[in-house]
Chains A and B, each alone.
Chain A
Amino acid sequence: MRCAGNPMRVVVDTCCLINLYASQRLQAIVAASVEQAIIPKPVVEECLYIRQASEEDPNHLVPMTINLRPLIDDGVLLLTELTGEAELSQFVQLAALIDDCEAACLAIAVLRGLAIATDDKRAIHIATDLGVSVVTTPQLLKNWAEHASVAQNEVTNAILCIERYGRFRPHALCAHTQWWAEQRAL
């Protein structure tokens, strides 16, 4: 897996976008770790819920609707669509291998020379084969923590929020799993 440096323009896949949203610090992380976060329309349609603590019982989690509109309106996320014959063709080819969201992200990344932000193992394999640079949620958080001089408890809280409200933990083979575990424990 090739890891892109910072700053960069990235297409953000649904899985990574859900994680960033669940962190409750999406704007700060994006601002500190990438030059531009781009989301294809199918990603918005697929980005439906995270979890939140129930009002009656804080230990019980209930669905919470994701609202990306303010982030798009404020320019934090740049909404894009597949355009041109080459992108459409690449998208349809990739859709034979993966779901529409991931296929749209990869098609745009390939044709526009962007990196992709994803934690999905399958999407990472395909991106690597296509020569697309990949960043993951742990890597974006690490960039944010290092470049924005974020207080330790902020980083820990962001990780805990992603785990609790996004139900995500990096898989064992992810390059920054160790960093994640260390930050979480601090």
Chain B
Amino acid sequence: MLNVPSVDPKCLGQRLFEARQARGLTQQEAADYLQCSRPVLIAIEKGTRPAKPDEIIKLASLYGRTVHELVRPGEPVSDLQPHLRAAVSRAEPGNEEMEQAIRDLQQFAENYRQLETLMGTPMTSNYPPEVPLTDHVKVVAVAEDAAIRERSRLGLGDQPVYELRELLEANVGLRIMYGDLPSHIAGMYAYAGDVGCCIVINRRHPPERRRASLSHEYGHVIMDRYSPGVDYLTYPGRKPGNERFAESFGMAFLMPATSLRRRFHEIVSTKGDFQVADLCRLSHLYFVSVEAMAYRLEGLQLIPEGTMEHLRESRFEVRKAKGILDLPERPETDDRYPARYIYLAVHAYEQAKISEGQLARFLNVDRVTAREIVERVSQTTNVQDDGSVEESRFPSQKSLLSNT
């Protein structure tokens, strides 16, 4: 016999409330659409008057949601959207792309939590201790120390980190999605009690920029964890303390001073010089932009201040220089969702815990693309004894603990 969970009017009301707000509609407008009074709509949103099936379907259509999104089990992630929306409305009033990005982040957080619940694998968080900023500290020095401590805590030493997104998700427990943000925005950050730290990085930016944005957002996790915010590529005037901390932390985390100094001195002692080509090679080694590397070396007083400005004025072309030096592109996924999320969704689908429609919705793709993702995740490549390569289905559900 099918066990259908009853829809909790309070959870449904909360989802309807948030969906209406996200759509920018007033209670009166929604009530008019439903052809009911405003007090009835308020009662539905409060959960004191259960919504009828036809009302749920109509409201889902009005708010651009599926019925499943509104009635699915579990409480909504409540404190993510309103806080971020408040931060965005101050900085980017009426920006529809940002509104969509907030909705996407909310959806991502809820989906992630649902998948973890279904699969019985909650995210293990291993957040760093917070670093409070007081009035009389040198922000850059505090950020530099925090980056060293954090690298030590995560066992990274002082070498370049390549798979930053995977590292911060697996070892720290951050939820990181790539979203389509307006091009002048680097990323967004928010914390919600039941899902923890959630980050959106601008998917439209090149990989080096995405990594810089991610390590910057990580700085916010350390410095002002409970303050949601939007980060821009540039700030007019002097940045506030928390932004200077996040900026300095991000650079120090990606380009640790000790290994950078060592490499710089090796180059100078070997060649007797440090040239533009060396700057490009170092930036490639640390997987950061040439600009970020130049500023970092300036900050460490290894090259003269103003070097990057000088290069810019002389119309230095990074892409051309990298081509001449034959520096290969580093493989970097621009998947919207992190690998763990995709694995959870695919395995939930394979174990019939979610349907193909839900899978496509979780992955934000059409059905056939969802099938391709399942193929990609479930297949493994084997090299046979004769050297031939064979693709086979990965036996993901086979127990390795039983003898049978």
Contact = CB atoms under 8 A, between A and B. Distances in A.
Given A50-B368, A99-B361, A92 B355 contact: no
B53 to A, nearest CB: 4
B68 A103 contact: yes
Contact of B357 (A14, A91, A129): A14
Interface string B335-379: 000000000000001001111111011000011110110010000
Contact of B2 (A18, A100, A103, A130): A130
A48 B2 contact: no
B56 interface: yes
A89 interface: yes
B83 interface: no
Contact of A120 (B57, B356, B369): B356
A168 to B, nearest CB: 6
Interface string A16-56: 00100000000000000000000000000011111100000
Interface centre among B1, B68, B71, B355 (most CB of A within 10 A): B355
A93 interface: yes
Given A49-B368, A166-B368, A93 B4 contact: yes
A98 B68 contact: yes
Main secondary structure of the interface of A (DSSP, over half): helix
A101 interface: yes
Nearest to A125: B352
A100 B357 CA distance: 8
Nearest to A50: B368
Nearest to A100: B66
Nearest to A122: B355
Nearest to A124: B352
Contacts of B68: 95-96, 98-100, 103
B66 A167 contact: no
Contact of A95 (B67, B360, B367): B67
Interface string A65-95: 0000000000000000010010011011111
Contacts of A100: 66-68, 357
Contacts of A103: 67-68
Interface in B45-66: 53-54, 56-57, 66
Nearest to A48: B366
Given A91-B67, A96-B72, A49 B366 contact: yes
B391 to A, nearest CB: 12
A168 B367 CA distance: 10
A54 to B, nearest CB: 15
Contacts of B5: 96-97
A1 B168 CA distance: 44
Given A98-B357, A99-B355, A100-B68, A92 B7 contact: yes
Contact of B358 (A47, A99, A124, A168): A99
B5, B354, B357, most chain A CB atoms within 10 A? B357
Among B2, B71, B349, the most chain A Cβ lie within 10 Å of the Cβ of B2
B73 interface: yes
Contacts of B66: 95, 99-100
B356 A94 contact: no
Contacts of A51: 368
Contact of B367 (A14, A85, A92, A123): A14
A48 B7 CA distance: 30
A46 B53 contact: no
B353 A15 contact: no
Nearest to B393: A172
A167 B368 contact: yes
Contact of A96 (B73, B354, B355, B356): B73
In the A-B complex, the 8 residue pairs with the closest CB atoms: A99-B357, A121-B352, A129-B2, A167-B371, A122-B355, A88-B53, A95-B67, A92-B53
22 contacts: A14-B357, A15-B367, A18-B367, A18-B368, A46-B357, A48-B366, A85-B53, A92-B7, A92-B53, A92-B67, A99-B355, A99-B356, A100-B357, A102-B355, A102-B357, A120-B355, A120-B356, A122-B353, A123-B355, A126-B2, A130-B2, A167-B371
